[in-house]
Amino acid sequence: MRKKWLIVVLILLSVTLATAITITGEAITGKVITGDTVLTGDATQTVGMNISVQGPPILALISPKNQTYISNESILLNYTVDASADTMWYNINNTDNTTITSLTYFDVSEGSYKLYLFANNSNGNTAKNVSFFVNTTKFLIIDDEFDKEDDADSGRSYNKRENKKGNTTDFLNYTYEEIQNLSDVILHNPEYGMIQFNQPINLTDDENVNDNQIDLDTHTNFSFNRVEINSSALSNFNKSATLWLYNLTWEEPQIQRDGEDCPSTVCTEESYSDGTLKFNVTGFSIYTTIEGASESVYETPGGGTSGGGGSITKAKDFKVEPNKLQIKLRQGGTKKQELIIENTAKKKITINFQSNLGGFIRLEQSSFTLKKGEKKTIAIDFLAREDTVPDLYVGNLIIKSGEEQEKILISIEVESMKPLFDVRLDISKKFMIVGAGEDLPLETYVFNFGRIGEVDVNLDFIIKNEYGKTIAFGKETIAVATQASQIHHILIPKDAEEGEYIAYVKVSYGETVASASHWFFVGEKPAPELNTTILYLVIGAGIILLLILVEIILLRKQMCGKRKIGEKRIFNFGLIKRK
């Protein structure tokens, strides 16, 4: 009987103790109250106990932001919410609710909006809201060259658009305010190369800040062994960056900038593996590569030299014809061109070649020897792959013998595989030499092959120097039925260096491109040469006039002498009187 009562007392005691304890999270302390007796003490057992109080979901709205969007399509609704949320939904301007389970995109029209986002559970609702604006005309970004070919059906992924090539930044994911200080900008062509900028870029601060647009298509160029940004038109992209060039075939690539060996103060190689070269640059122009570490010195537009090994004079031991090659290819096409090299030295010489257009050029021999007075004809194969971007590619072929060299300027126009148009570009003879700061008239003739009727076509006019750097450009749209012609005036910059330049016109209709080009010279015009025949005629006429003048003078003297003799005789005869 005592055992039963003892068990009952212990049960009552444990219940009383449980109602009087305080939980600290580490140990149990408390008071035990039994009648008039108060027992105090610390428990010797630690308990791991978490007590939480349920409430509405914790919600944060990340985007859209209280800023201006320059695209009304696929605006990102981004948020964070804790695990307690059972249901989520949103609406715009208090219209119909849309239930969501993850991040999503939505479309709107132009105007101002207020987005409401909700999350709820059994303990209540949480709501967030934001006001934002949509103005698609505020700023235009032209970057179709970085779109995937099937971008119209690409759809959208979890947290980004998928219509851009590779890792290219989709600028339409950002607001107008954000693109004025955008970090980690990437331009990527998965076949040719990639640029990752190391400094923030203000997209709105290009050469013309008043046109409310930026044209990346015209002023960037990704192609085999070539990455180019026209830093004159896109001065805001003239930043330090990391570059990748893909599918190179060199054993030891040498980085070139504008056709010259890039100095270590500008270019720093990081790695080269499996045909991919990674390097850093301090600013932008045209970057290509050649085989091996070149010791050549190339003449710069200003007449100076750069590179290693000291100054190299123009070749005297050999001569090359012609000194320029102007090539036109269609995508997937090839063309053969010949060079004649003659040994003018009094000894045997060895000829070597270097070029910064490696992807377009195939030489039958990389080096050979010439005996005294010997001539050799060298065949050069030019080729454009089917996926080569239609454009103008400018470079050079360096022909060397010892410390002497000749530079052959090369321009390669690549057109669409099946162009719908043909185009001719002429420069009047009197403008083949034009001064810096002067106007250059370009006469263009566009011919429609007659398969599409009258259409509007886009004309891009580009002036490049002998290193492929764009110094001037222009745009026009014209209607072409069978053929059309016009004169486009383009201003040569006042700071243009003296040297060879090439004018290029590109006719675009849809995806097809046709082109034409013409070399000219920027510098002081020489004094006009006087025609030899005219000179002799002028001298002869002058001599005749001089003889006539002398004859007149002599005749007058003779006449005066006769007149004086006659008067004297008359006086002597008394026919006249003295006064």
Q: Can you read off the two tokens belonging to residue 156?
A: 């959208």
Instruction: For the domain made up of 418-528, give the CATH fold.
Output: Immunoglobulin-like (2.60.40)
Architecture of domain 140-294: 2-Layer Sandwich (3.30)
pLDDT digits (tens, 9 = 90+) for 123-137: 999 999 999 999 999
Q: What is the dihedral of CA 506, 509, 510, 513, to 10 degrees?
A: -40
Task: Return the minimum-mean-pLDDT range out of 31-40, 233-242, 334-343, 501-510.
Answer: 31-40
Q: Which CATH architecture has domain 59-134?
A: Sandwich (2.60)
Q: Which CATH topology does 313-412 take?
A: Immunoglobulin-like (2.60.40)
Whether residue 190 has a cis bond before it, omega within 30° of 0: no
Burial class of residue 269, CB neighbours in 10 A (0-12, 13-18, 19+): middle
What local confidence, expressed as pLDDT, does residue 328 receive? 92
The pLDDT-based confidence of 15 (bands split at 50, 70, 90) is very low
User: Rounded mean pLDDT of 6-25?
Assistant: 46
Written in H, E and C, the secondary structure of 369-422 is EECCCCEEEEEEEEECCCCCCCCEEEEEEEEEECCEEEEEEEEEEEECCCCCEE
Per-residue confidence band for 161, with pLDDT thresholds at 50, 70 and 90: low
The pLDDT of residue 510 is above 90 = no
Q: Give pLDDT, residue 28.
A: 39
pLDDT at 181 over 90: yes
d(CA 55, CA 205): 49
pLDDT, residue 579, reads 54
Over residues 239-252, the mean pLDDT reads: 90
Comparing 140-294 with 313-412, is the CATH topology the same? no
* Total-model pTM: 0.55
Mean pLDDT confidence for 532-552: 81
Mean pLDDT is highest, among 11-25, 297-311, 422-436, 548-562, for: 422-436
Domain boundaries, the chain: 2-42, 59-134, 140-294, 313-412, 418-528, 532-579
Q: Could you tell me the pLDDT band of residue 309, with boundaries at 50, 70 and 90?
A: very low
pLDDT beyond 70 at 14: no
Which residue did the predictor score with more confidence, 93 or 359? 93
Instruction: Note the pLDDT tens digit of each residue in 394-436.
Output: 888 888 888 888 889 999 999 998 888 889 999 998 899 999 9
